[in-house]
Amino acid sequence: MTAGRIAVVGAGLAGLNAARLLWQAGADVRLYEARPRLGGRILTVGADGAPGAGFDLGPSWFWPDMQPEIAALVAELGLACRRQDEAGQMLFERHPQESPLRVRHPGGVASWRIAGGTGALVRALAALIPPDRIRLGAPVGGLRLAGDTVVLTLPEGEVRADHVILALPPRLIAQHLALDPAPPPDVRDLWRRTPTWMAPHAKFLAVYPRRFWREAGLSGGAQSLVGPLAEIHDATSSAGEAALFGFVGLAAARRHQMGEAAVIAACTAQLVRLFGPAAAAPQSVRLKDWAADALTATPGDLTDPCHPAPQAFALPAPWSDRVTLAGSETAPRDPGYLNGAVIAGQAAARRAAALCPV
């Protein structure tokens, strides 16, 4: 069976963008995704926790002033966006025995959110690729060079392609994909050393019947040295459903030890401490622990919360013209960010198209 001339592995932002660019350019492309859903680290859910428009459990923001590529993609796809709402004062929690300080927002470069959540980007890109070109629940376990083709190993058998775009974090490639012939040790070493951005983190979301913090002149933003949430923001959806979200400041091992229910209880108690008794009655809460998700985090990520630095990820012969890396972490600019995924996906699509002309 042929995978099409170009196979894209991983349907996060980088893989989706690469696949739709290739499809729009007339290429014979297929997209393989291990999860039963699209988006990778982009995960937007409704108040009921089901994937759909609403609240981001993965990335929420992009910064158009500094990131023209994602700004252009959002505009091309006709997606509405809005600034992160920071009206009101923010809180700063310094010590368990002190009341939180009310402070002005520091300002700075504006963060923007996509209406409906970042998942709107995933849905818009997926709509540009025919469904029969996308395989969900299809983890690629390895690549083997066979003459001029690459053989991809899937659970139910093998497929062949002329070129493969690996649109996933380098650490996941090192962890889950066997390459035959094996790349030189320094290549695998670079993959293992490249942290997957935000993989060690967890996000907590609490949906409320109203934005009660506004009634007290608060923006919903907070920073805390007490925890468990280190940073809190207003996550009210574009449909007006009130919500707060926070990044859990506890290490992945500590979260695992406590268990989900205890982490949720501690996060909710902190919101009550900061925002008052109305915070005690959320309509729903979610905890997404990315460190516990094997399709994002590897054991190396749990102790290494660093940001990836730009590196050269081109593979040497005999893989050089057969495989291109495209996960955000491989981007020459903004690696680890959504913008890095856009840049890496575009570059990989251009390269694959040049190597496999229609």
117 vs 282, beta carbon nearer ligand FAD: 117
The alpha-helical segments, DSSP class H, found in the chain are 13-24, 68-76, 119-126, 170-176, 185-193, 212-215, 252-258, 260-275, 299-302, 338-355
Indicate the SS3 state at residue 88: coil
CB of 71 to ligand FAD, least distance (A): 12
What is the DSSP pairing of strand 323-325 with strand 163-166? parallel
* Cα 86 from Cα 67, distance rounded (Å): 21
CB of 186 to ligand FAD, least distance (A): 22
CB of 167 to ligand FAD, least distance (A): 5
Q: Nearest CA to 88 among 278, 248, 217, 208?
A: 217
Q: Nearest CA to 58 among 258, 296, 339?
A: 296
CB of 339 to ligand FAD, least distance (A): 6
22 vs 100, beta carbon nearer ligand FAD: 22
100 vs 340, beta carbon nearer ligand FAD: 340
27 vs 167, beta carbon nearer ligand FAD: 167
Helix, strand, coil content of the chain in percent (nearest 5): 30, 25, 45
Do 55 and 245 touch, CB atoms closer than 8 A?
Answer: yes
Indicate the SS3 state at residue 321: coil
CB of 60 to ligand FAD, least distance (A): 5
CB of 357 to ligand FAD, least distance (A): 25
* Cα 261 from Cα 122, distance rounded (Å): 30
* Cα 280 from Cα 199, distance rounded (Å): 29
* Cα 204 from Cα 267, distance rounded (Å): 7
Residues forming the site for ligand FAD (CB under 6 A): 9-15, 32-35, 40-42, 58-62, 139-140, 167-169, 172, 176-177, 197-198, 201, 203, 290, 295-296, 327-328, 336-341
27 vs 331, beta carbon nearer ligand FAD: 331
238 vs 278, beta carbon nearer ligand FAD: 238
Type and span of the H or E element at 149? strand 149-154
CB of 178 to ligand FAD, least distance (A): 10
